[in-house]
Chain A
Amino acid sequence: MKIVLVIFERELKAYFNSAIAYIFAVVFLLLTCGIYMNEFFLLSRADMDAYFSPLPYLMILFLPAISMRLWAEERKDNTYELLSTLPVKKSMLILGKYAASVVFFLITFAGTLPIVVMLFALGQPDAGKIVSSYAGAVLLGAMYLAISHLLSSVTRDQIVAYLVSVLVLSAYYVSGNEMVASVMDGLWPRLQVGSYLRETFSAVPHYENFTRGIIAAQSVLYFLVITALSLWMTDLVIKRDRA
């Protein structure tokens, strides 16, 4: 566990030593909060629905930028050979790196908390719904990061890691969109592929539970299982390199 902390500390410092991290944080907050504030002034409602509704799509664009460097940079800079010959289990390296990416995301995401303060100052928002929406966003973000972490481990090019992650996450999330599901159902009416994907595979219904104020054990488990599965697959990819 001590090793995980050593890796975690190095990776977190590496984020804050990079200008890209600051640019990421500022642009992410400006964009997500900007979109929300526009809706807020139009609708004059003390809730965060307009914030959490487009968030999964915006996170698809931003979160791979956090994880794209995790392994691709090590491979490109050849420091991968150093890490691979240290007396440390690969799973410890993966956990340390992943934890740093999640904490960096949480620190950035904490920049949205002034919105909550503002809502409570101006009206009487549903606190439970806001808390569950935040929980859903954090779980979805952590899952996105784990998937992009896996994709970063298969390439030595950060840009490739970013683009592939955006594509995979888009396909994954959009498969749960109702409109996309009905279009797919229309293409193959007998198979009902769209509905099947949305109901059994997609993250959308689970995320929507949270944004409605429901913290369902099934949805929490869904995010945790996909996250764990992605990290386990990263471990397999990294271990395969020795062969």
Chain B
Amino acid sequence: MTIKSVIMDEKGIERSIVRLAHEIIERNKGVVNLVIVGVKTRGEFLARRIAAQIKKLEEANLPCGFIDITLYRDDLQTRRLEHPELKGTEIQFDITDRHVILVDDVLYTGRTTRAALDELVDIGRPASIQLAVLIDRGHRELPIKADYVGRNVPTSVGEQVKVLLKEIDDKDEVLLVDVG
């Protein structure tokens, strides 16, 4: 595994979060009825950061929840690997009739997003769901598109985008690595 390039450094991630927060507020004409749901693991920390940024801009505390999509994966019964550890969904508020901002680190095949959408509609009936991602690396296998994108990064299938966040990785950085 070799690092091919640094896509974002700490400052870059911070700027992206600020811009995403601004776009979310702009598109929704404020923060009324907005809730934020991060996809575990790294989407959780990005969701917290976006919520903190929105608080700075609008002085509003948005409800922030986290979703573990493991139980909704489409490869549990087919891939011959160990079942992933369950990290638990924590959404302590009703999402029905709210506008949900779904936050993840990397948008790739779209399968994780599909699982998260299915889980969200089992939990409630949101007024709308919008998708915010830090990196969109292409190669979609499902018809899914992000509403807010930190950075579009053209990649090949043999590459991997690694998002490192201080909360669990000691530093803020997005790397393009070769796994071929």
A binds B: no
Chain A interface (Cβ < 8 Å from any Cβ of B): none
Chain B interface (Cβ < 8 Å from any Cβ of A): none
